[in-house]
Structure 1
Amino acid sequence: MSAQNRAEYTAAADLKSPTVFADQAMTLMALHGISPIPMNYQLWFTYFTGQNAALSQELNALLASTPAINDHLCAQIYARHFNPQGDDRLINETNQRVQIELEHLIKQLQAAEHDTSRFGNTLMGYSDSLAKATDTSTLHSYLATLISETRDMEEKSRGLEGELKNSSREIERLKVSLEAARTEALTDQLTNIGNRKLFEQSLHDGVTQANATQTPLAMIFCDVDHFKKFNDNWGHKLGDHVLRLVAQQLKDHTPDKGTPSRFGGEEFAILLPSVLLAQAAAIAENLRLAISTRTMKTRTTGVNLGRITMSYGVALYVPGESPDSFVARADRALYAAKARGRNCVITEDAHT
């Protein structure tokens, strides 16, 4: 993009009008063929407001040097500049509650340790006194005191037991809440499979393991063919239904150790640890057949919406390379599948 064009885009920011920012964001996305999904809209709207200097600097450099900006580049930039803390709020709150409960538990145990130590010292003291007792009245007095101390210790022990049981139940409940919060934070709310955050975490873990153990790691990148046209023809509600249907098929056809995720918009990714390139391609082909053989109809009218097809790119991790490089190779294989006519599986070695 030329400096003049960039200046025309950014000049609108001086007007301080949300409408202008929105129009400029939509214009730029249309110019580059960027999907008008909420994530991309937020990215470019924020860019034109100028509220995020680091984002503006990165996008200015990108506009100056990159002829074509695609959804994948937008998703990478979004992940760097928009790390939503809202997803982590419940996790952080639950962690704090667990910490408070643990601190309470530690104080209980410290108090019990003090009581036990004091009771032990009392027993030792009266043991010496009992040995020196010379008359019955003194002996009875010592025994009465020991019985009282013992009953007091027994009462405190029972109280501690109850407190420990309550704390144990509360910590167990908080553990369940924490796990549920973590699952929710890593789940795409529309499709109920992993979200972009889960993909990034799984990619990091998978790459770390692959480098440490010298085991293979494959990736399938795929997206719904002509999804924008489907949305335009039938509406976003049915478009959402398509995405949910695709996600369910991904769950059904991904091996147990694999991680299917919604990468963004109509694009999905599957990470496959300990799977070779040919095996991953076979998994992608099974998935392609399972989806492309289904005919969609509306529930209310029974209108035939046609078949859903997807394009698939498959890549194998190269030890030592960066996660971004791995994703880029899978992405190139996906674009090769689109260039070949869509509704097909292309491995990285088939187009190089």
Structure 2
Amino acid sequence: MSNASAAARLKRFFGAGDEDAGEGEVAISVRPSHLRVAADSSAERLMEEISSFLLGNRLAVTARNLLVAHSAFSGEDLTLARRIIDRIASGEGVTQDWLDGETPIEDPAGSAKRLTEQLQTSIDGFTATTRSARDTAASYNTELAAHVNEASAAAEGADVTRIVTLAQAMLERARTLEAEMEARQAEAEELKERLARAQRDADIDHLTGLPNRRAFEALFEKNLREAQQQIDQLCVAICDIDHFKRVNDTHGHDTGDRVIRAVAETLARITDDKCHVARHGGEEFVMLFRGLSKTQAREKLDAVRENFSQRRFVNRVTDTPIGQITFSGGVADVFAYANPRDALKAADEALYVAKEQGRNCILSAG
């Protein structure tokens, strides 16, 4: 597969038309795609496209590369798909070094999560067992102490005194064991808290403080389930900072990070129990709107975009004006699609069209 043909084939996934589109909406035409397993595409065809991509770009056929290619060509990672399009269109080609840089090693099978859950279960079991043993030991020690005291008061003769002495020594050892079990229980409780904190940290994007992509998946499933149960509306939106690469190239990554944080803070201001925002990766954010129609969600997000576009940024190091920073977005009604993942793709397609139509706007998938 040549770079030019690869770009064309990938770009068809984001194809769109504007027929019968209302104001602020774009009619998305779902065309044959090599980035998704469409209804008329077989698993064999997907494998053929993945193979052509790897071999055409002289990429090693490794387990990691296969997983990365599948993620892009099946439509699971829309951000990666667009980056491949841009890379090929630039004429630079997809190299192994570039692909490794764009796709940090993750755990697609969720084995790390399973191991964490197993560890949590083991700690819970150990804590419960230790607590039970400590309580039993404490009860036993109390009873033993009462018998020893009673025997000491009534002790007569060398044999009885010896027995009492042995009992007292046994009581001391039992009390030591009780103290050790209490210490082990405290250690287990601390480990549980540290594990819970690590799990929370794993769901946070440390640059913005927003939930990360992994946390969004859980949020999406939870809100989808609740919306279905309550017969509620649910919309998803994907936003992307316009010309972000130019900001990074011109003003440096520190300034780029500041811009990302500024957009994150702006989007976070409209969040509540029924509106969630997460950093989806790079300069991209994803949002969920419960209880709002697609039009209402688009209007709410568009008002945020309009207010943000009025701000002007300055490079704090050089005092050089950065100027206007804007973002674009696409919104889709989750329940307008048989598969919730298709709603995400539709929102991403609308975002892509917003970029092509001049950026700094929010479009609805129609």
TM category (shorter chain) comes to: 0.5 to 0.7
Partners of 2:65 and 2:318 lie apart in 1 by 50
Structure of higher CA gyration radius? 1
Q: Among residues 301, 315, 328, which one is paired with 1:284 in the alignment?
A: 301
Task: State how 1:12-23 maps to structure 2 within 5 Å.
Answer: none
Q: Which has the higher helix share?
A: 1
Alignment partner of 1:269 is 2:286: yes
- Larger CA deviation: 112-121 vs 219-228: 112-121
Q: Among residues 96, 104, 117, which one is paired with 2:119 in the alignment?
A: 96
Check whether the contact 2:78–2:345 (CA below 8 A) recurs between aligned residues.
no
Q: Among residues 326, 331, 346, which one is paired with 1:314 in the alignment?
A: 331
Tell me by how many angstroms 1:48 deviates.
0.9
Deviations 1:42-79 (A, max 9, x none): x979981211288289669959xx9xx96364699x99
Alignment partner of 1:51 is 2:68: no
Q: Could you state the TM-score of these two structures normalised by the residue count of structure 1?
A: 0.64
Which residue matches 1:106?
Answer: 129
Q: CA RMSD in A?
A: 5.1
Assess, with a 3 A threshold, how the Cα gap between structure 1 residues 70 and 277 changes in structure 2: closer, same or farther: closer
Tell me by how many angstroms 1:110 deviates.
4.1
Q: Taking every aligned residue pair, what percent have the same amino acid on both sides?
A: 25
Partners of 1:152 and 1:74 lie apart in 2 by 72
Q: Among residues 302, 312, 319, which one is paired with 1:295 in the alignment?
A: 312
Gaps of 5+ in 2: 12-52, 85-99, 148-153
Task: State how 1:1-352 maps to structure 2 within 5 Å.
Answer: 6=1, 48-52=59-63, 55=66, 62=73, 71=79, 73=81, 83-84=106-107, 92=115, 96=119, 99-100=122-123, 102-103=125-126, 105-107=128-130, 109-110=132-133, 113=136, 156=174, 160=178, 162-163=179-180, 165-318=182-335, 321-348=338-365, 352=366
- Larger CA deviation: 300-309 vs 104-113: 104-113
Assess, with a 3 A threshold, how the Cα gap between structure 1 residues 239 and 114 changes in structure 2: closer, same or farther: closer
Higher relative contact order (CA 8 A, sep 6+): 2
Deviations 1:253-287 (A, max 9, x none): 32244331122222211123344334422431232
Check whether the contact 2:277–2:287 (CA below 8 A) recurs between aligned residues.
yes
Check whether the contact 1:194–1:262 (CA below 8 A) recurs between aligned residues.
yes
What count of residue pairs does the alignment treat as equivalent?
304
Assess, with a 3 A threshold, how the Cα gap between structure 1 residues 188 and 149 changes in structure 2: closer, same or farther: same
Report SS of the residue matched to 2:232. coil
Letter in 1 for 2:321: N
Tell me by how many angstroms 1:299 deviates.
0.9
Letter in 2 for 1:228: K
Check whether the contact 1:221–1:334 (CA below 8 A) recurs between aligned residues.
yes
Check whether the contact 1:50–1:56 (CA below 8 A) recurs between aligned residues.
no
Q: Could you state the TM-score of these two structures normalised by the residue count of structure 2?
A: 0.62
